[in-house]
């Protein structure tokens, strides 16, 4: 019976070791999301345009001076016998005064991250569900999902356990109120 109890843990460790040893092709992103290794090709231009529109507004309008990374690996808690999730959000924001990215390992803890951004692309369902759960488990206060298929923006807030307790979905063109530490309305008309 004891051997069976340790088997899922051993499988999770092997999966994590295999993932961390993975050498993804240049420009590709490899993530470990809820026990599944996901390798995504480089994003296309419209995807990157959406990310840039968010970054530009945050830099110009946020009440708190923010740092941004579009390529930072985050270690997040997992549910069940899966290994820790390893996600690379399309955008990660943290208050500049924390200097979270300086000296950080390739996969850093998410403590201090204020907002993550995902723009749907090759696996939109992952952004809508699995990644949302991962970010909530990690305690990331705000998750902004730009859903190009649905022509909508959803702001998830107040993480608890495996999900966020609040969310607000608006169609492209409606402003999304980003709470503290941002405290401004994000314009979304250009996402379309």
Higher-confidence residue of 3 and 189: namely: 189
Mean pLDDT along residues 149-156: 96
Mean pLDDT value of segment 57-69: 98
pLDDT of residue 6 exceeding 70: no
Token pair recorded at residue 162: 């495996």
What pLDDT is recorded for position 110? 94
Q: How many residues are there in the chain?
A: 192
Q: Which residue has the higher pLDDT, 126 or 175?
A: 175
Per-residue pLDDT, 82: 63
The pLDDT, as a whole number, for residue 22 is 86
Quote the distance between the C-alpha of residue 25 and its chain's center. Answer: 21
| pLDDT number for residue 81 | 59
pLDDT classification of 2: cutoffs 50, 70, 90 = very low
In the chain, what are the domain boundaries? 2-191
pLDDT, the chain, mean: 91
Percent of the chain predicted with pLDDT > 70:
93
pLDDT of residue 122: 77
pLDDT of 55 above 60: yes
Which pLDDT score, from 0 to 100, does residue 7 have? 59
pLDDT band at 3 (very low <50, low <70, confident <90, very high): very low
The CATH topology of domain 2-191 is tt1808, chain A (3.90.1570)
Cα 20 to Cα 22: distance, rounded to the nearest angstrom: 6
- Cα 146 to Cα 23, 46, 81, 106, 140: the distances in Å are 28, 12, 30, 25, 17
* pLDDT > 70? residue 24: yes
Task: Tell me the average pLDDT across 143-155.
Answer: 96
Q: Where residue 1 falls among pLDDT bands split at 50, 70, 90?
A: very low
How confident is residue 126, by pLDDT bands cut at 50, 70 and 90? confident
Q: Give the C-alpha separation, 69 to 48, whole Å.
A: 13
CA-to-CA dists, residue 32 to 17, 53, 88, 126, angstroms: 11, 27, 9, 12
Secondary structure string (H, E, C) spanning 46-89: HHHHHHHHHHHHHHHHCCCCEEEECCCEEEECCCCCCCCEEECC
């Amino acid at each position: 019976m004891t051997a069976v109890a340790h088997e899922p843990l051993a499988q999770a460790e092997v999966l994590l070791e295999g993932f961390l040893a993975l050498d993804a092709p240049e420009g590709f992103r490899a993530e470990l999301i809820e026990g599944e290794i996901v390798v995504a090709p480089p994003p296309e231009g419209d995807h990157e345009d959406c990310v840039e529109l968010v970054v530009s507004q945050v830099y110009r309008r946020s009440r708190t001076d923010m740092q941004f990374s579009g390529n930072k690996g985050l270690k997040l808690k997992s549910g069940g016998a899966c290994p820790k999730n390893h996600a690379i959000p399309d955008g990660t924001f943290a208050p500049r005064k924390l200097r979270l990215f300086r000296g950080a390992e390739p996969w850093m803890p998410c403590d201090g991250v204020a907002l993550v951004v995902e723009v749907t692309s090759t696996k939109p369902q992952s952004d809508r569900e699995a990644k949302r759960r991962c970010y909530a488990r990690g305690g990331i206060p705000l998750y902004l999902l730009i859903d190009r298929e649905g022509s909508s923006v959803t702001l998830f807030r107040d993480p608890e356990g495996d999900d966020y307790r609040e969310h607000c979905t608006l169609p492209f063109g409606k402003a999304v109120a980003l709470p503290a530490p941002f405290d401004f309305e994000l314009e979304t008309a250009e996402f379309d």
